[in-house]
């Protein structure tokens, strides 16, 4: 049984109505509604809770409830997201379904928002939600600005009489630095920063949240968390899936836009941030933003040496043949879109000077894994000069984000026998072995935090722009210099050779994906 120290039980969220824009889409059925269901199961939803689905499809309240019920039954039966297949918790689901309604409308039409305003007034009077409203934008990114404009014009973003109005915006927040700045400007004309919750669902992962606990609640780690003791940091976000049926979208996006300024940089900032002076949301987010702002800008020479882009060719992933990206429907035969990107970052702070951060992310790779590996500097061999020891296994602290969330530490130990031979050994901590974690999509914490007004795990405007600022020179080079190399790697591999060479030049190597 794990010991719980310094914990506090989560309190029930306040009364509110959740309005889901794009309620008939895949995100709602696959992730958002299961998250709300899990909150209901754990008793974290207020008794004065209501939900409004808003979409373009014409259907009745009953038809929408039934479609979501069918999707929820498939979810619990599948055992997705770490759960064990089991029957639907009828009581928890009925609580949500009985408080769910639907309305159809054109999201660009002011009349839709006038109708929504009336509906929210009726719900507040009936269900006692007290005017608190959480708007969730589960829609295409190009609709973020227009929807927020309309919320403002209809008076739906206005906070009064002690009631709150908050908006969750899914990624991608912009497609480059200019568009991110423009969207921030547009949003903040209607909403205050404390009303805006920029979602990155990676931050709902338990191990991501545990990074700060690991660093700041353990006296053995934080004193070593600096350039004096750490050789380098590796962050890997590898996917086995190909672009599948999303090729048309991916052609306009690529691995860099899809993953790096959001998911990957969130892991960078949590690893590199300075200790905040408290766990106040703004204190934490300020330190995260400062870490990103301290990343050294790329010049042309650094771009060519320290950024590698790749695209998967044909190969085999988990025993199944995968055609080349360029053979996918909707992809140009000479496409330069990257499905893999690796880079070396330098963070110009006292803590991290001289410690490289190596990042890689890609599709159709040999194994699905997300991890942060902290490799410590090696011990001197002088003590072992008269022994059979000719090298020492590096000390590596690995934070495994997914799958099998946990933390491991590798160190050296003497092998049994009369002579001194060293071997690398590993201590493993897995969440499932110590804690009775309930099945989760990763959205539960984030939705709950928005309901209670805790923005710690959401991105602030300056953090979003800091991330885009780092990668914008890369986009500019790829756009303006067609000679910038694009390497190919077999599907099912660990990426292109240039990614390995980037580390080899400094005598380092990527951790194996196996």
| Catalytic sites, residue numbers | 263
Q: Report residue 20 as tokens.
A: 């889901």
**Could you give the strand order of the β-sheet that contains 487-490, starting from the edge strand earlier in sequence?**
422-430, 406-414, 396-402, 369-376, 230-238, 356-362, 340-346, 307-313, 487-490
174: left (phi over 0), alpha (psi -120 to 50) or beta: left
Those residues with Cβ within 8 angstroms of residue 99's Cβ, 6 or more apart along the chain or in another chain: 49, 50, 51, 127
Cα separation, 396 vs 54, in Å, equals 48
From the number of C-beta atoms within 10 Å of its C-beta (0-12, 13-18, 19+), residue 338 rates as: buried
Task: Classify the C-alpha dihedral 386-387-388-392 as positive or negative.
Answer: negative
Those residues with Cβ within 8 angstroms of residue 477's Cβ, 6 or more apart along the chain or in another chain: 300, 303, 484
End-to-end CA distance of the chain: 31
Q: Report residue 437 as tokens.
A: 């974690």
From the number of C-beta atoms within 10 Å of its C-beta (0-12, 13-18, 19+), residue 194 rates as: middle
Cα separation, 32 vs 40, in Å, equals 13
Buried b (16+ CB within 10 A) or exposed e, 59-93: beeeebbebbbeebeebbeeeebbbeeeebeeebb
From the number of C-beta atoms within 10 Å of its C-beta (0-12, 13-18, 19+), residue 512 rates as: exposed
Give me the residue label for tokens 């996006």. Answer: 253
Those residues with Cβ within 8 angstroms of residue 340's Cβ, 6 or more apart along the chain or in another chain: 255, 308, 309, 310, 311, 312, 360, 361, 362, 363, 365, 489, 495, 496, 499
Cα separation, 514 vs 512, in Å, equals 5
């Amino acid at each position: 049984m794990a010991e719980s120290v310094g914990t506090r039980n989560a309190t029930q969220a306040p009364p509110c109505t959740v309005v889901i824009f794009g309620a008939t889409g895949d995100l709602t059925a696959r992730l958002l509604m299961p998250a709300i269901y899990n909150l209901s199961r754990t008793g974290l939803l207020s008794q004065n809770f209501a939900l409004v689905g808003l979409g373009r499809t014409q259907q009745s309240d009953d038809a929408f409830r039934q479609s979501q019920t069918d999707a929820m039954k498939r979810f619990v039966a599948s055992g997705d997201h770490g759960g064990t297949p089991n029957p639907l918790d009828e009581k928890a689901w009925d609580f949500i379904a009985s408080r769910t309604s639907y309305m159809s409308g054109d999201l660009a039409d002011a009349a839709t928002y006038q109708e929504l305003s009336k509906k929210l007034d009726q719900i507040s009077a009936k269900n006692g939600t007290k005017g608190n409203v959480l708007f969730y934008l589960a829609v295409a990114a190009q609709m973020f600005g227009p929807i927020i404009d309309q919320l403002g014009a209809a008076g739906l973003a206005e906070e009064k009489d002690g009631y709150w109005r908050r908006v969750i915006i899914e990624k991608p927040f912009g497609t480059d630095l200019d568009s991110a700045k423009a969207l921030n400007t547009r949003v903040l004309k209607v909403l205050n920063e404390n009303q805006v919750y920029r979602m990155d669902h990676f931050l709902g992962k338990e191990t991501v949240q545990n990074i700060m606990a690991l660093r700041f609640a353990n006296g053995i780690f934080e004193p070593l968390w600096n350039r004096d003791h750490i050789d380098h940091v590796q962050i890997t976000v590898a996917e086995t899936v190909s672009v599948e049926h999303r090729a048309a979208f991916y052609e306009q996006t690529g691995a860099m836009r899809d993953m790096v300024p959001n998911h990957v940089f969130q892991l960078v900032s949590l690893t590199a941030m300075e200790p905040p002076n408290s766990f106040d949301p703004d204190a934490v987010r300020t330190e995260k933003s400062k870490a990103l702002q301290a990343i050294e800008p790329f010049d042309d020479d650094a771009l060519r040496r320290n950024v590698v882009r790749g695209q998967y060719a044909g190969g085999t992933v988990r025993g199944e043949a995968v055609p080349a990206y360029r053979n996918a429907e909707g992809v140009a035969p000479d496409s330069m879109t990257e499905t893999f990107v690796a880079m070396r970052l330098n963070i110009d702070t006292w803590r991290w000077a001289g410690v490289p951060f190596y990042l890689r992310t890609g599709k159709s790779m040999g194994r699905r894994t997300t991890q942060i590996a902290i490799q410590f500097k090696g011990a001197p061999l002088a003590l072992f000069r008269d022994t059979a020891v000719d090298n020492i296994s590096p000390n590596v602290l690995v934070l495994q984000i997914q799958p099998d969330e946990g933390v491991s530490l590798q160190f050296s130990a003497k092998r049994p026998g009369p002579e001194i031979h060293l071997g690398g050994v590993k201590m493993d901590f897995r969440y499932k072995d110590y804690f009775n974690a309930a099945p989760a999509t990763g959205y539960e914490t984030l939705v709950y935090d928005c309901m209670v007004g805790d923005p710690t795990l959401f991105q602030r405007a300056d953090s979003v722009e800091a991330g885009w600022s780092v990668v914008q020179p890369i986009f500019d080079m790829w756009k303006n210099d067609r000679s910038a190399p694009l390497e190919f790697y077999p599907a099912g591999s660990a990426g292109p050779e240039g990614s390995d060479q980037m580390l080899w030049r400094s005598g380092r190597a990527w951790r194996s994906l196996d």
